[in-house]
Amino acid sequence: MQRNRSIGTLFAGLLLPLLVTAQSNEMLFTGEVYSQQAQEVFVPLTNNWQARISMMLPEGSRVQEGDVVVEFDGSEVARQLQQQLEAQRTERAKTERDIAKIEKELTQANYQLKQARVSLELAVLKADLPEGLIGKLEYSENKLTKEKAIKALEDAGEQRKDKQEALQERNRQAELDTQKMESQHGFWSQMLESFIVRATQPGFIIYGKHPWNRTKFQEGDTVQTSFRVAQIADTSELAVRIWINGIDRPRISPGEAVNIWLDALPGRKLEGRLDSISDSGAKRPEWGKALYFEAVVLFESANIPQLLPGMSVLVGPRT
């Protein structure tokens, strides 16, 4: 029951910015527990840079490696893939028709070349007959026929050569077209496969937040490519992420000892140490126009019971 209550409080309200106590003027920073070994779930590449989340496991669900955790609507990509397959079948039929036509023309060219060779052999025999035997007129006609047969053989050879080159070129083009279509088919197939995200490690699913308004993503949302919509958090290496207002950044340094209070574990104080602070600040529109620096706090205690990713925390200097 305690574990269930911890998961129930896993995702309590929006975090607030820096707080300052009135009596002690002690700096307190809000943050959250996060996994240092988390599988990030990003919106995959799409043809229009947008996708709709069609299924996402309930936040806080425990998942195992191989479980489907998020699915994006792939109906448009499936339609594109089907069109691609139809285009492949059409192009393949056209290629087969073109090649069959050229092969037929090459067969005819080979036949014409053989006929031209036979005609030349016959013309040579006649042209070799002596003029005194057949007469001057017939002798001249035989010579002319021989010249024509030689020219016809040359033309037939050129015709066959042209058809052979045309067939080779069409086969090369068909190979390139096939490679192109296979590449396109692979592209759409991989895109469709990327719309189903499986856990690569055991852990808890935690919903991501919209980078502009910080609201949590939900099933049915339309999201943009590269948005982080969720993560699978491994609980073996947990730390705390806090945000430091730019005004207070000079007053705190890495290595400082801090106390940690968790909303999910009221009345309990944990000890930690500030590990690092980001070099540059970023705006958080939901908190105003100030810059905030992200910092990481490591727990000094190991194997903290009931500690889960996503729990909201409050961090202050240890006195």
- pLDDT tens digit sequence for 49-70: 999 999 999 998 999 999 999 9
Q: What is the pLDDT of residue 285?
A: 76
What are the structure tokens assigned to 108, written together? 């005819």
Q: Which among 292, 246, 254 is positioned nearest to 274, based on CA atoms?
A: 254
Q: Tell me the percentage of the chain whose pLDDT exceeds 70.
A: 92
Helices (H), the chain: 2-8, 75-127, 131-134, 136-194
Q: What is the pLDDT of residue 93?
A: 96
Q: Does the pLDDT value for residue 133 go beyond 60?
A: yes
Q: What is the pLDDT of residue 95?
A: 95
Q: Does the pLDDT value for residue 3 go beyond 70?
A: no
What are the structure tokens assigned to 156, written together? 């037939």
Would you mind telling me the total number of residues written for the chain in this entry?
319
pLDDT-derived band at 292, boundaries 50, 70, 90: very high
Nearest-angstrom CA–CA distance, 192 and 209: 24
Count the neighbouring beta carbons within 10 Å of the beta carbon of residue 104: 11
Q: Tell me the percentage of the chain whose pLDDT exceeds 90.
A: 71
What is the CB-side half-sphere exposure of residue 130 using CA atoms within 13 A?
A: 2
The per-residue DSSP string of 44-74 comes to: PP-SSSEEEEEEEPPTT-EE-TT-EEEEE--
What are the structure tokens assigned to 48, written together? 């229009």
Average pLDDT, the chain: 88
Tell me the pLDDT tens digit for each residue of 69-117.
Answer: 999 999 999 998 999 999 999 999 999 999 999 999 999 999 999 999 9
Q: Which pTM value belongs to this model?
A: 0.66
What are the structure tokens assigned to 312, written together? 């909201």
Q: Does the pLDDT value for residue 1 go beyond 50?
A: no
pLDDT-derived band at 228, boundaries 50, 70, 90: very high
pLDDT-derived band at 306, boundaries 50, 70, 90: confident
- 8-state DSSP, 133: H
Count the neighbouring beta carbons within 10 Å of the beta carbon of residue 263: 14
